[in-house]
Amino acid sequence: MTAARAILPALAAGLALLAAAGPGIEGRRELRDVLIVVDITRSMNVRDMDGASRLDAARDVLTRWIASQPCGARVGLGFFTERRSLTLIEPVEICTDYAALAGTLAGLDWRMAWEGDSMISKGLNHALNRARGLDAALIFVTDGQEAPPLPYSGPDDWREDSPGGVVLGAGGDQPAPIPKFDDLGRETGFYGPDDVQHAPARIGAPPRDAADRPGFHPRNNPYGEADLEGSEHLSAMRAEYLTRLADERGMGFARLSAGPAALQAAWPPTPGAPGRDASQPVAGFRRAGPGRAAGRAAGHPASCKEGDPMMNRRTLLASALAALVATPLLAHGPTPQQLSRSVKVAAPPEKVWALLADPALIAAWHPAIAEASMEGDGAGAKRSIAFKSGGTLVDGVDDIGTETMTIRWRLSREDIEVFPVSFYTNSITVTPDGDGASVAWQASFFRADTTNEPEERFSDEAAVAAMEKYVDDALAGIKAAAETGG
């Protein structure tokens, strides 16, 4: 036993010394610089990526992909809106500048857009030209929704040499509503059919079937009547369109939902593309991860010794840019909050639903509400809620489904002194559960103060606490009213 006790510490010490010496085998790998450009237009806010928005999912997947690359790889970052991309960081070595890359990715936000249009083919071409100028491949992340719709002549062509890369499609295959925000960044609902343009602008060649359209005249109205109805207020990932754009530009196509591995699998070989021979020692007992100086590729232009003034200046510049871009956005504050609660009720579902189908009955089962009044009926109706503690909220009914026993509504006029949220959407669904019913409440909301530095009483924490109490009291009230009522 004594000998064993002596051997194990000695063995551990020996292994530690060996690891410190950095033994390993020499590995070689062809690397290309990469420019990542992310679509930040408003359809990227659609929450169809397992409950996350497309932009949130892109941040996550791209951060994990960068972290999976070997030291010596160089990555740049930019974003796309309207018809152009803006490069935030030119390709930098990922191990040295991982913090700057991850911080800038985390700070990408739709509020950075300078225009609301989303001209995908033009933006992709612009990003390809930028990547080619940087001698880098391109990863272009988008859902593929052209807004306004493409002209009848179709997307822009690509006639240059391609640097190669991958088009990464974000979103699901089923059309989903696009969130709508006010000037303060608060979600106010979803875009409707009357909020967006459904038909292409009347520029360029008319549609091929123009002569068959009502109102067609070869000189006075060569387009015929415009397509005024459509589904451009809904968004799905345009996989077929993105695959076509990628093929025409010598790029691969992958789905964002497939995760980081899909990027590497979709990468097409680029004939004649310049590569860099990264000679990297593969340590036998340790592996340097992103953000650590150890393990940088020997001989790589971005691999400098610690203290190298050129490296320090470049690192500081990238970090400062990341801080400039990311910090205000990370601090813009109003993070969407989610709350999900449910309760089982020993009463028939129909009896429970009868308490909820009339929104004005909230005062009969919610202990915090003194009275409620309605303006209108059904979807679109407004409800005023007076609290026993003082103050009144006004919310609007989005939908009442008698067959599904679901009601959805959203805040129209806040009163942050009595209820510290600036916006909410709520839904209640009643479903059969054994001999009784189950009541599920879903809430999405923002804190009362959407500025960068809210008072404590108007913070995220205050909003969560208020909503939790409001919902918990409501479900307890529904249960009591349904189980004891006549």
Counting every residue, how long is the chain? 486
Look at residue 347 and give its three-state secondary structure: coil
Least confident of 23-37, 200-214, 455-469: 200-214
d(CA 245, CA 257): 19
pLDDT at 458 over 70: yes
**pLDDT band at residue 314 using 50, 70 and 90 as cut-offs:** very low
- 50 vs 203, higher pLDDT: 50
Strand partners, 86: 79
Determine the pLDDT at residue 392. 93
| Average of per-residue pLDDT values in the chain | 79
Minimum mean pLDDT among 320-324, 337-341, 439-443: which range? 320-324
Residues 417 and 469: their CA atoms lie apart, in Å, by 15
What is the structure's pLDDT at 345? 96
Do residues 433 and 344 lie in contact, with contact meaning Cβ atoms separated by under 8 Å?
A: yes
- Higher-confidence position of 42 and 412: 42
The answer, yes or no, to whether residue 476 has pLDDT greater than 80, is: yes
Least confident of 151-160, 205-214, 258-267, 401-410: 205-214
Share of the chain above pLDDT 70, in %: 72
242 touches 167 (CB < 8 A)? yes
Report the alpha-carbon distance of residue 170 to residue 173 in Å, rounded: 10
290 pLDDT band, cuts 50/70/90, is very low
Confidence label for 315 from pLDDT (cuts 50, 70 and 90): very low
Phi, psi of 75 (to 5 degrees): -130, 140
pLDDT at 445: 85
pLDDT at 285: 29
User: Residue 465 belongs to what H/E stretch?
Assistant: helix 460-484
Q: Considering only CA atoms, which of 110, 80, 179 is closest in space to residue 329?
A: 110
pLDDT of residue 37: 97
117 pLDDT band, cuts 50/70/90, is confident
Total-model pTM? 0.54
More confident residue, 202 or 209: 209
Average pLDDT score over residue span 145-171:
88
pLDDT higher than 80, residue 334: no
Question: What would the pLDDT profile of 228-250 be if each residue is shown by its tens digit?
Answer: 556 788 999 999 999 999 999 99
- Residue 437: both structure tokens together: 């019913």
Cα–Cα distance measured from residue 16 to residue 14, given in angstroms and rounded to the nearest whole number: 5
| Per-residue CA distances from 143 to 234, 358, 486 (Å) | 12, 39, 52
Mean pLDDT of the 319-340 span: 55
The DSSP code for 129 is H
Task: Name, of 156-160, 214-218, 223-227, the range with top average pLDDT.
Answer: 156-160
The yes-or-no verdict on residue 380 having pLDDT over 70 is yes
Structure tokens that stand for 66 in this block: 């960068």
Higher pLDDT, 176 or 152: 176
pLDDT at 21: 56
Q: Is 332 exposed, middle or buried (0-12, 13-18, 19+ CB in 10 A)?
A: middle
- Residue 217 pairs with which residues in a beta bridge? 221
In what order do the strands lie in the sheet containing 165-169?
84-93, 74-81, 34-39, 137-142, 165-169, 252-255
Is pLDDT above 80 for 374? yes
Q: For residues 252 and 268, is the Cβ–Cβ distance under 8 A?
A: yes
261 vs 58, higher pLDDT: 58
**Which of the pair, 103 or 204, is modelled with greater confidence?**
103
**Would the pLDDT of 15 be above 70?**
no
Choose the most confident range, by mean pLDDT, from 314-318, 320-324, 392-396. 392-396
Is the predicted pLDDT of residue 57 greater than 80, yes or no? yes
